[in-house]
Amino acid sequence: MAPPMTYTHDKDSSRLSVAPMMAWTDRHCRYFHRRLAPSALLYTEMVTTGAVLHGDRERLLAYNPEEHPVALQLGGSEPADLAASAKVAVDYGYDEINLNVGCPSDRVQKGRFGACLMKEPDTVRDGLKAMADVVDVPVTVKTRLGVDELYSYDYFRDFVGRVTDGTGVDTVIAHARIAFLAGLSPKENRDVPPLHHDWVYRLKQEMPHLTVVLNGGVETVDQVTEHLAQVDGVMLGRAAYHDPWVLARCQHALLGGGGPEAPEDVLPAMTAYLERLATAGVPVKHATRHMLGLFGGQPGARAWRRYLSENAHRDDADTGLLDGALAAMREVQAA
């Protein structure tokens, strides 16, 4: 595995990031997002400590060198397991280790990690410190505003203060919603609870020594800009997946440019990537499924999506798939 790029976790490096999203932000998705936003910090899907320590590490942890800076999100609660997993991640070259304290799914609760840990701040603190003590890359935490009955600004502030104090952790990513451990599905937990961006703003005001990154309900460049006037960074989630071109717009507006000028500009690099996959025997659909929204809002975008959806599974090694989808879109535009 290639060594990490020179990378320090500070306010500049946290300005734009893409959230860890299960079943979405795999290595192929991250490669695609890197083509759109060269300066964004990318996160893996959550990987449990049990999987890191006892599973197929190469399948779970391998990534493309071009993805740097890339952070591994861990799910777990036992300090010794978290520390051991963090050391494995550093050996693989990850630039940051992030602890998941926000996922509300039943499976995650049964494993005693994710959002249920908001009820156990000392457990979170011990886990963060255990990791920070054994690795030389930044350790961060991603949390909610509260969980179940533990929901107030005071609880959120005190939780953050408690889990960061004396741990060596100074970056907090806050999903600006409560999590309900029962009664709402994980999807509903991303939509139903009200957003409180103001709580995240207030946390930054009251704890200026922390790097505070806001997540939740952010969809446009203007919104990112507005939030950056109050906090150190913004993490895009579903918006970056369904409308990936927003990453390029953010790159140009906020991070000094360097990204593609138009969506079609990423196609040569992605076609070359499909060729790499085909040579390795990896079905190209694993990458093209993340590209459905690339031309969102443009005339012919539906034809682009339809072509990819209908043809990606027909030939696992069809490296001309993107050219065919682009031609289908152009045909609609010319009609």
Positions at the binding site for FMN: 20-22, 73, 142, 175, 215-217, 237-238
Catalytic residue among 29, 103, 116, 250: 103
First-to-last alpha carbon distance for the chain, in angstroms, is: 48
- Respond yes or no: is residue 29 known to be catalytic: no
d(CA 129, CA 111): 20
Annotated binding-site ranges: 20-22, 73, 142, 175, 215-217, 237-238
3 state SS of 215 = strand
CA separation, residue 182 to residues 63, 100, 178, 323 (Å):
35, 18, 12, 46
Structure tokens at 93: 């070259």
Burial of 231 (0-12, 13-18, 19+ CB in 10 A): buried
Are residues 35 and 269 in contact, defined by beta-carbon separation less than 8 angstroms?
Answer: yes
Please tell me the distance from the alpha carbon of residue 261 to that of residue 258, in angstroms, as a whole number: 9
CA distance 78 to 194: 31
Instruction: Report how far residue 333's alpha carbon sits from residue 24's, in angstroms, rounded to the nearest whole number.
Output: 29
Cα dihedral across residues 254, 170, 50, 88: positive or negative: positive
If you count them, how many residues does the chain have? 335
Say how far apart CA 115 and CA 101 lie, in whole Å. Answer: 5
213 and 173 Cβ atoms separated by less than 8 Å:
yes
Q: How far is CA 290 from the centre of its chain?
A: 14
CA distance 138 to 7: 9
Give the residue from 128, 127, 135, 141 showing the smallest Cα distance to 211.
141
CA 39 to chain centre: 14
Active-site residue set: 103
